[in-house]
């Protein structure tokens, strides 16, 4: 057998950990170079502006009415481009929503005001915490979380996105490179840890380039919760642990900032550990992403068995598990694929209305946008073939509007509206 290290001394051959560390540093450096090139000059992502037509659709008024407001000098003034075209930032759009809501309230039209500013009523509408989960990678969990959070922000809700995955893909989509942009105690772990270094969640969350959308980023330190929790459980059994079971810690952290948000979207890690269990206990609603392949469906079966077993233990220990809704979302769906269509039909026959009516189709538009760490909401229609973009956006809007409708139903609102 050929000796790959022939001619080298032991000291000259890099150890496995050193080689992997070198590869990690090389890749991290190149990713930073890519970010500097894609998002100059500050190497930070920024949300594009919206045409007057797009802004009008988001607000729920006509383009002509928006033009009248601009001419009258009411609300924020848009940026004017070539040919007199008007462009609005998301902050401008939200300011216009508040302006129109104030006008509606002054006229005593409270339903109209609610249609412009959709914030929840704290006394009667609880913080909606949506956990997006599956323990099999590649099911579209992070893509679903990012687009759902952005859809709700575009619709005018106050949104907090929580990256609970140590791989930090959601954070990367929002422009963060964890090993560079984060130091210690900068993730949700900092707010749920068991020692004296625990920090308020309000000090950890970060504003994003989406007005009304904040982020709790993730990185590898989230793994610490999986290591420290068993030790604390053992100490509790010995009579010396801290107050508060592990499964209540995320719920308590989110409660500390609840007044500032309407919706929390949690991107859960792709395994069923203490982090995921704690997230499910904090959740008011759950979305399980499913890729319509038989191996993925079989994997989901095991996931559901394990989840049920573990959550029953949590419930027996005093944890509350009352979901407003639990839905299965078909992702990366190819309508022309016969076997996939059969599997989707099988899922609907088994779970009925618990499978969301709208599937998320597989689209090159979404994957191409991901090449520059962007979502479909961040790129313009002119970046793709129009039919490709429109098809993907139609599916995306259908999925997120359906989830938004379930959220509004849980709040007791008769009708919703979407971005």
Q: What DSSP assignment string belongs to 89-107?
A: -HHHHHHHHHHHHHHHHHT
CA distance 51 to 70: 13
Take residue 287 and report the two structure tokens written for it. Answer: 């979305």
**329 with 354: CB under 8 angstroms?**
no
Mode of pairing for the β-strands spanning 79-80 and 86-88? antiparallel
**310 with 272: CB under 8 angstroms?**
yes
What is the pLDDT, as a whole number, of residue 243? 44
Could you check whether the bond before residue 20 is cis, i.e. omega within 30 degrees of 0?
Answer: no
**115 with 98: CB under 8 angstroms?**
no
Q: What DSSP assignment string belongs to 256-291?
A: TTGGG-SEEEEE--SS-SHHHHHHHHH-SEEEEEE-
Task: Go through 27-59 and write b for each residue having 16 or more CB atoms within 10 A of its CB, e for each that does not.
Answer: eeeeeeeebeeebeeebebebbbbbbebbbebb
**Cβ count within 10 A of residue 195:** 8
Residue 130: name the closest of 307, 409, 310, 325 by CA: 325
Take residue 414 and report the two structure tokens written for it. Answer: 């008769």
How buried is residue 99: exposed, middle or buried, by Cβ count under 10 Å (0-12/13-18/19+)?
Answer: middle
Take residue 409 and report the two structure tokens written for it. Answer: 């139903």
**Which uninterrupted H or E stretch holds 345?**
helix 338-351
CA distance 387 to 328: 27
pLDDT in 10s for each residue of the chain, 419 residues = 455 555 555 555 666 545 565 665 665 566 566 655 555 544 467 888 999 999 999 999 999 999 898 888 888 888 888 777 889 999 999 999 999 999 999 999 998 998 999 999 999 999 999 999 986 667 789 999 999 999 999 999 999 999 999 988 999 899 887 777 777 889 999 999 999 999 999 999 999 999 999 999 999 899 999 999 988 888 765 444 444 577 889 999 999 999 999 999 999 998 888 899 899 889 999 999 988 888 888 777 777 887 788 778 777 776 667 789 999 999 988 888 888 999 899 889 988 999 999 999 888 888 888 777 788 898 877 777 888 888 989 999 999 999 999 999 999 986 544 33
Residue 282: name the closest of 196, 171, 178, 160 by CA: 160
The CA-based angle 410-249-288, given to 5 degrees, is 45
- Token pair 């290591």 is found at 227
Take residue 318 and report the two structure tokens written for it. Answer: 């005093």
Give φ, ψ of 30 to 5 degrees. Answer: -70, -35
CA distance 240 to 231: 11
**Cβ count within 10 A of residue 287:** 26
CA distance 352 to 123: 33
Q: What is the pTM of this model?
A: 0.85
**205 with 160: CB under 8 angstroms?**
yes
CA distance 204 to 186: 6
**325 with 406: CB under 8 angstroms?**
yes
CA distance 324 to 243: 28
- Please give the DSSP secondary-structure letter assigned to residue 336: T
Give φ, ψ of 22 to 5 degrees. Answer: -65, -40
What is the pLDDT, as a whole number, of residue 242? 43
* Residue 376 CA: distances (Å) to CA of 288, 365, 407: 21, 7, 22
Q: Which residues are bridge partners to 215 per DSSP?
A: 161, 206
Take residue 219 and report the two structure tokens written for it. Answer: 């990185």
Take residue 78 and report the two structure tokens written for it. Answer: 């848009």
């Amino acid at each position: 057998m050929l000796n790959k290290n022939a001619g080298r001394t032991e000291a000259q051959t890099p150890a496995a950990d050193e080689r992997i560390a070198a590869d990690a540093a090389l890749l991290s450096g190149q990713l930073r170079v890519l970010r500097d090139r894609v998002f100059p000059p500050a190497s930070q992502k920024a949300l594009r502006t919206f045409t007057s037509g797009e802004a009008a659709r988001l607000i729920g008024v006509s383009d002509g009415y928006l033009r009248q407001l601009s001419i009258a000098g009411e609300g924020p003034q848009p940026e004017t481009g070539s040919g007199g075209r008007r462009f609005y930032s998301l902050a401008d759009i939200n300011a216009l929503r508040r302006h129109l809501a104030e006008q509606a309230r002054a006229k005593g039209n409270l339903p109209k005001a609610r249609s412009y500013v959709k914030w929840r009523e704290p006394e009667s509408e609880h913080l909606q915490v949506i956990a997006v989960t599956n323990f099999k990678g590649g099911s579209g969990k992070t893509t679903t979380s990012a687009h759902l959070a952005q859809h709700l922000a575009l619709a005018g809700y106050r949104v907090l996105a929580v990256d609970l995955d140590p791989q930090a893909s959601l954070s990367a989509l929002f422009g963060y490179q964890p090993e560079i942009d984060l130091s210690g105690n900068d993730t949700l772990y900092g707010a749920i840890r068991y020692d004296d270094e625990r920090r308020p969640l309000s000090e950890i969350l970060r504003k994003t380039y989406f007005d009304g959308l904040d982020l709790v980023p993730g990185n590898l330190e989230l793994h610490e919760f999986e290591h420290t929790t068993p030790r604390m459980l053992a100490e509790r059994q010995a009579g010396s642990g801290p107050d508060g079971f592990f499964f209540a810690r995320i719920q308590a952290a989110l409660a500390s900032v609840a007044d500032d948000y309407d919706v929390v979207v949690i991107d859960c890690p792709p395994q069923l550990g203490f982090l995921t269990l704690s997230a499910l206990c904090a959740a008011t609603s759950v979305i399980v992403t499913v890729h319509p392949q038989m191996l993925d469906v079989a994997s989901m079966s095991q996931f559901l068995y394990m989840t049920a077993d573990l959550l029953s233990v949590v419930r027996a220990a005093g944890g509350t598990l009352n979901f407003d809704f639990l839905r299965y979302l078909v992702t990366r769906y190819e309508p022309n694929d016969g076997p996939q269509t059969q599997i989707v039909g099988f899922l609907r026959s088994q779970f009925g209305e618990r499978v969301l009516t709208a599937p998320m189709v597989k689209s090159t538009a979404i994957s191409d946008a991901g090449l520059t760490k962007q979502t479909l909401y961040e790129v313009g229609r002119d970046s793709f073939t129009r039919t490709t973009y429109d098809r993907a956006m139609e599916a995306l809007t259908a999925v997120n509007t359906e989830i938004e409708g379930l959220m509004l139903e849980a709040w007791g609102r008769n009708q919703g509206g979407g971005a």
